[in-house]
Amino acid sequence: MTDVLAVANQKGGVAKTTTVHSLGVASAEFGRRTLVVDLDPQACLTFSLGFDPDALDRSLHDVFVRRDHVADVCLPVPGVAGLDVLPATIDLAGSEVHLLTRTGREHVLERALEPVLDRYDLILIDCPPSLGVLTINGLTAANSVLIPLQCEALSHRGVGQLLETIEDVRAFANADLTVRGIIATMYDDRTKHSRHIIEEVESRYGIPVLQPPVRKSIRFAEAPARGKSILQHAPNSPGANAYRELARTLLDMSLVAGSPG
């Protein structure tokens, strides 16, 4: 069974795209056939993977308006065997208006992905930093949600609103949706503050914070301009190793969830 994870947080700048990119590369390194879906009209994931969104002929938008199928739009990621991307362009902003006119609009992405599920072991969906119809599509298509959380003051306030949206999605579109956990990003282990944020989120929302936290590093800022993830740009860095450990944890959780009984 394909594990479909939506990576979501309505707050921008929490390393959501970096998390999808890094986990996608790490999962491919572990031999899992992986697809990353860029659901954000800003197309940052597409750019970070080495593609120029402005030069692409087709994107997820063409799938949403029924011009193309997912299999025709997916692209292999250069230098990473086993990793594909369903890319975004700015046209995806127009998809939001189109989706609002569609019957069953919450399920459009889910239905579009169905024909390619048997091609992948893992699908990671990079949701936009909002709670609009695109994010709802990502949550409806997913089995579980990962929430990147920046370890800074007030950054956890949006978690409650996201959880309310997840409850709504469970009620009307995807009753089996679960929260897999929180990934602590931009973590500074020199301060008590970062540790306090993690403890407070766990106690307030009862959601596990997956280990290890991802520490702050300039390497994360350097990698996207090269069209690479931190695992390729700085493969032995603490950040790269953290995402490999997180990918291994998610793999183990997926195997447990998929085992009989």
Mean pLDDT of 187-216: 85
Higher pLDDT, 256 or 148: 148
- Which pTM was predicted? 0.94
Mean pLDDT of 17-33: 96
- Model confidence at 154: pLDDT above 70: no
67 Cβ contact partners less than 8 Å away, ≥ 6 residues apart: 58
Higher pLDDT, 155 or 178: 178
- The domain spans of the chain are 3-258
What is the model's pLDDT at position 221? Answer: 81
Higher pLDDT, 219 or 119: 119
Asked if 201 and 182 touch (Cβ cutoff 8 Å), the reply is: yes
The burial of 26, by beta-carbon neighbours within 10 Å (0-12 exposed, 13-18 middle, 19 or more buried), is given as buried
Report the C-alpha gap between 33 and 44 in whole angstroms: 22
What is the model's pLDDT at position 210? Answer: 95
Q: Architecture of 3-258 per CATH? A: 3-Layer(aba) Sandwich (3.40)
Report the C-alpha gap between 159 and 4 in whole angstroms: 20
**Radius of gyration (Cα) for the chain, nearest Å?**
17
Q: At residue 201, what is the residue type?
A: V
What is the model's pLDDT at position 256? Answer: 66
Within its chain, how far is the Cα of 104 from the centroid? 23
- Model confidence at 258: pLDDT above 80: no
What is the model's pLDDT at position 158? Answer: 75
Q: What is the mean pLDDT of the chain?
A: 91
pLDDT bin (cut points 50, 70, 90) of residue 257 is: low
Could you give the dihedral angle defined by the CA atoms of residues 145, 19, 129 and 99, in that order, rounded to the nearest 10 degrees? -60
pLDDT bin (cut points 50, 70, 90) of residue 153 is: low
What is the model's pLDDT at position 261? Answer: 41
Mean pLDDT of 2-29: 94
What is the model's pLDDT at position 260? Answer: 47
Q: What is the DSSP string of the chain?
A: --EEEEE--SSSSSSHHHHHHHHHHHHHHTT--EEEEE--TT-HHHHHTT--GGG-S--HHHHHTTSS-HHHH-EEPTT-TTEEEE---TTHHHHHHHHHTSTTGGGHHHHHHGGGGGG-SEEEEE--SS-SHHHHHHHHH-SEEEEEEESSTTTTHHHHHHHHHHHHHHHHT-TT-EEEEEEEESB-TT-HHHHHHHHHHHHHH---EESS--B--HHHHHTGGGT--HHHHSTTSHHHHHHHHHHHHHHHHHHHHHS--
Tens-place pLDDT, residues 73-91: 999 999 999 999 999 999 9
Task: Please report how many Cα atoms fall inside a 13 Å half-sphere around the Cα of residue 181, on the Cβ side.
Answer: 16
Of 21-25, 154-158, 209-213, the one with minimum mean pLDDT is 154-158
Tens-place pLDDT, residues 165-177: 999 999 999 999 9
Of 210, 196, 175, the closest CA to residue 7 belongs to 210
Calculate helix-pair angle for 16-29, 238-258, nearest 10 degrees: 70
Share of the chain above pLDDT 90, in %: 67
Pairing verdict, β 75-76 and 83-86: antiparallel
